[in-house]
């Protein structure tokens, strides 16, 4: 019978290459799309043509598009809707992770998104089913039996099939499968139309593939390429090679997740006795079960296992019925893509979800407080507070102490200065005019600790991203702290002039009191000296009272002032310590904690998208 060929259609507009740059520019929480894009159809936003309404397509969202494409007279199925959600989540996951994960980890996900986008543009009314098998298994004979004509060459020469051949059961006059065949790369000379009118197979595009174990490498490459694109696969085995290791290990095990779109056919049963055929079928089911392939038995979803004889036609009607049910559901493409998403998420799991299925704790309030406490010690905040308290107390003593004690301290300071000893500490926690010294080892230990705690329970790439973010901030943190402390009010040259808070009003009263008591001492002493030289004085007890009262009153007043100054001194020290703590905590938050929190937030978003893409947390 002469081959029936079709005229090569004009190439359709190629699908846009997948680009997740839109994800990087995704709207922030609370933002809404521009008014000129809200509610507009797909073609209005992107300037691209939609497929004809007569050809419903799989409802898979394109990059940043608002809704899946489907026809009004045939809404998307539940499988299509579920797939749309999972693909959108996977696209978001890739966009969030591409700068954090190794590029090789996302290659498969990017390829799948490209394939899903390409399949989205093609009609869902057609289902592509490939017949694959080893040399001599009878693939082409079964293909011809399904088509009802000699459309694919078959014979004893090996390999017989060099190029994939297609047979199409048209779904309708207004619907054609040319775009689908173009995507599969089937040349026009290899396209056939079914000679058997079978309403149950309308919308089927059946492919006869070359041998997967062909000696020609180009044949094997063609098989691998088409197996990645078709919606379903019929694996044909024969009684001699049904347990072939290449088939089971390289293909069937890899397609274990695609059981719902897989049919395994034992061909050439006409060569076997009934008992032998049943024994081989049982052994074949056992091998499939060992490879993790779910079998569609007892009404449960899974791979179909049939026995046929393409030569005599035994079992072919049952195979037609099984394939017809798959085509009629119009969900094979969605189920195939869903199985592909399962495989991609299963391989992405180690870099997206840690062994602990619970969400990581991240930066806890305790770890934040400990980090800020370590930074406070790094800038010497507690010591500076104590020094400020002591400095304020010394100022109080010098202002309110006895004149004789003040004179003694001034003389001691002068002698210490002559010996080259360092000057006294100021009320601000350091030498006059100098900020506290920043301890870099303490800062490094603080960053190391908070990064390790934040990265706990994270997958390795994300734990490394958290540590990198922390150490990038740690490199600038010491200099930022020193600059912030140097710019603090009261530090600098003017600090030597005004080393403490404003003078309290009661200091003036105490100074006047000390002056009066000093005057009383001097007056009583002079009065007594005058009496000692023989000059008459009135009331001898009066000068003694002045001298004794002044001598005892001055230390007593100084002691009272010392007790009164403890509260303000402590408050001043605490204020200075809190000021240093705020400076240290502010620098630490902006340079270390906020970048770490941003990485943790990004990971949480990736983890949420992974769970959505995987269809649930358990993807093992």
* 245-297 residue pLDDT tens: 888 888 988 888 898 999 999 999 999 898 999 999 999 999 999 888 989 87
Choose between 355 and 440: higher pLDDT: 440
Strand partners, 220: none
**Would you call 306 helix, strand, or coil by DSSP?**
strand
pLDDT at 409 over 60: yes
Task: Report the pLDDT averaged over residues 422-449.
Answer: 67
Q: Looking at residue 72, what is its pLDDT?
A: 35
Q: pTM of the prediction?
A: 0.71
pLDDT at 554 over 50: yes
CA nearest neighbour of 514 among 557, 484, 450, 463: 557
pLDDT at 586 over 60: yes
pLDDT at 592 over 50: yes
Choose between 55 and 263: higher pLDDT: 263
Task: Report the pLDDT averaged over residues 337-353.
Answer: 91
CA nearest neighbour of 134 among 268, 6, 291: 268
Task: Report the pLDDT averaged over residues 183-196.
Answer: 87
**Would you call 98 helix, strand, or coil by DSSP?**
coil
pLDDT at 387 over 80: yes
Rounded CA-CA distance 366/11 in Å is 62
Query: Sorting pLDDT into bands at 50, 70 and 90, what band is 420?
Result: low
pLDDT at 241 over 70: yes
Query: Sorting pLDDT into bands at 50, 70 and 90, what band is 500?
Result: low
**Contact partners, residue 112, CB within 8 Å, separation at least 6:** 90, 337, 340, 341, 344
pLDDT-above-70 percentage for the chain: 78
Q: What is the mean pLDDT of the chain?
A: 78
Q: Indicate the range of 21-35, 225-239, 482-496 predicted with least confidence.
A: 21-35
pLDDT at 142 over 90: yes
Q: Looking at residue 553, what is its pLDDT?
A: 82
Q: Looking at residue 194, what is its pLDDT?
A: 83
Q: Which pair of structure tokens corresponds to residue 401?
A: 């102490």
pLDDT at 596 over 80: yes
The DSSP result for 11-79, as a single string, is PPPPPPPP-THHHHTPPPTT----TTTTT--HHHHH--PPPPTTS-B---PPTT-SS----SSSPPPHH
Taking each helix axis as running N to C, give the angle between helix 460-486 and helix 594-614, from 0 to 180 degrees, rounded to the nearest 10.
Answer: 160
Calculate the alpha carbon distances from 382 to 368, 376, 544 in Å.
18, 7, 49
Query: From start to end of 322-432, where are the E strands?
Result: none
Q: Looking at residue 566, what is its pLDDT?
A: 83
pLDDT at 501 over 90: no
Strand partners, 205: 128, 168
Query: Residue with structure tokens 């502010």?
Result: 586
pLDDT at 299 over 80: no
Query: Sorting pLDDT into bands at 50, 70 and 90, what band is 401?
Result: confident
Q: 100-132, pLDDT tens digit by residue?
A: 998 888 999 999 999 999 888 888 889 999 999
Query: Sorting pLDDT into bands at 50, 70 and 90, what band is 63?
Result: very low
Q: Looking at residue 496, what is its pLDDT?
A: 32
Query: Residue with structure tokens 């929190």?
Result: 597
Query: In this structure, are strands 191-193 and 204-208 parallel, antiparallel, or unpaired?
Result: unpaired
Choose between 445 and 618: higher pLDDT: 445
| Per-residue buried b or exposed e for 145-181, using 16+ beta carbons within 10 Å of the residue's own CB | bbbebebbebeeeeebbebbbbbbbbbeeebbbbbbb
Q: Looking at residue 436, what is its pLDDT?
A: 65
Query: In this structure, are strands 232-237 and 262-266 parallel, antiparallel, or unpaired?
Result: parallel
Dihedral Cα 257, 259, 263, 268, nearest 10 deg: 70
Task: Report the pLDDT averaged over residues 182-206.
Answer: 88
Task: Report the pLDDT averaged over residues 480-506.
Answer: 62
Most confident of 179-183, 500-504, 545-549: 179-183
Task: Report the pLDDT averaged over residues 172-187.
Answer: 83
pLDDT-above-90 percentage for the chain: 35
Rounded CA-CA distance 352/603 in Å is 8
Rounded CA-CA distance 85/349 in Å is 18
């Amino acid at each position: 019978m002469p081959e029936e060929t079709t005229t090569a259609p004009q190439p359709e507009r190629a699908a846009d290459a997948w680009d997740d740059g839109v994800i990087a520019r995704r709207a922030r929480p609370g933002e809404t799309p521009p008014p000129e894009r809200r509610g507009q159809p797909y073609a209005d936003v992107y300037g691209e043509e939609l497929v004809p309404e007569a050809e419903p397509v799989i409802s898979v969202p394109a990059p940043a598009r608002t809704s899946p494409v489907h026809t009004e007279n045939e809404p998307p199925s539940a499988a299509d809707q579920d797939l749309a959600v999972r693909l959108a989540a996977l696209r978001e996951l890739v966009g969030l992770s591409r700068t954090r994960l190794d590029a090789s980890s996302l290659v498969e996900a990017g390829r799948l998104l490209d394939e899903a986008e390409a399949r989205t543009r093609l009609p869902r009314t057609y289902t592509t089913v490939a017949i694959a098998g080893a040399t001599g298994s009878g693939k082409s004979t079964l293909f011809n039996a399904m088509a009802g004509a000699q459309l694919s060459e078959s014979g004893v020469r090996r390999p017989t099939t060099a190029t994939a051949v297609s047979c199409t059961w048209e779904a309708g006059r207004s619907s054609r499968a040319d775009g689908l065949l173009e995507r599969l790369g089937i040349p026009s000379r290899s396209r056939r139309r079914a000679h058997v009118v079978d309403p149950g197979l309308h919308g089927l595009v059946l492919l006869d593939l070359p041998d997967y174990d062909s000696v020609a490498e180009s044949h094997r490459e063609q098989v691998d390429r088409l197996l990645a694109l078709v919606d379903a696969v019929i694996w044909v085995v024969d009684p001699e090679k049904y347990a072939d290791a290449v088939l089971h290990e390289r293909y069937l095990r890899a397609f274990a997740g695609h059981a719902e779109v897989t049919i395994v056919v034992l061909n050439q049963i006409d060569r076997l006795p009934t008992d032998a055929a049943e024994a081989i079928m049982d052994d074949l089911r056992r091998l499939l079960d060992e490879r993790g392939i779910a079998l569609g038995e007892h009404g449960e979803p899974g791979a179909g296992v049939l026995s046929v004889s393409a030569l005599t036609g035994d079992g072919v009607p049952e195979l037609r019925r099984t394939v017809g049910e798959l085509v009629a559901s119009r969900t094979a493409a969605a189920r195939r893509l869903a199985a592909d998403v399962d495989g991609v998420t299963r391989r992405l799991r180690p870099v997206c979800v840690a062994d602990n299925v619970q969400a990581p704790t991240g930066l806890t309030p305790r770890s934040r407080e400990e980090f800020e406490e370590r930074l406070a010690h790094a800038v010497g905040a507690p010591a500076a507070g104590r020094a400020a308290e002591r400095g304020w107390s010394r100022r109080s003593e010098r202002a309110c102490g006895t004149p004789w004690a003040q004179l003694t301290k001034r003389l001691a300071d002068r002698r210490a200065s002559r010996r080259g000893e360092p000057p006294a500490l100021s009320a601000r926690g350091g030498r006059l005019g100098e900020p506290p010294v920043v301890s870099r080892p303490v800062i490094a230990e603080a960053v190391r600790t908070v990064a390790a705690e934040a990265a706990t329970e994270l997958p390795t790439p994300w734990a490394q991203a958290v540590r990198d973010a922390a150490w990038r901030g740690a490199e600038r943190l010491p200099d930022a702290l020193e600059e912030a402390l140097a710019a603090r009010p009261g530090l600098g040259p003017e600090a030597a002039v005004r080393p403490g808070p404003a003078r309290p009003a009661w200091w003036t009263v105490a100074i006047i009191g000390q002056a009066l008591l000093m005057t009383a001492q001097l007056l009583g002493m002079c009065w007594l000296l005058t009496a000692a030289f023989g000059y008459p004085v009135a009331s001898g007890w009066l000068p003694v009272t002045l001298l004794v009262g002044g001598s005892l009153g001055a230390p007593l007043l100084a002691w009272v002032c010392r007790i009164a100054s403890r509260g303000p001194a402590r408050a001043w020290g605490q204020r200075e310590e809190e000021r240093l703590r705020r400076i240290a905590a502010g620098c630490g938050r902006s340079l270390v904690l906020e970048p770490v929190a941003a990485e943790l937030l990004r990971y949480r978003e990736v983890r949420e998208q992974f769970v959505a893409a995987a269809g649930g947390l358990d993807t093992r």
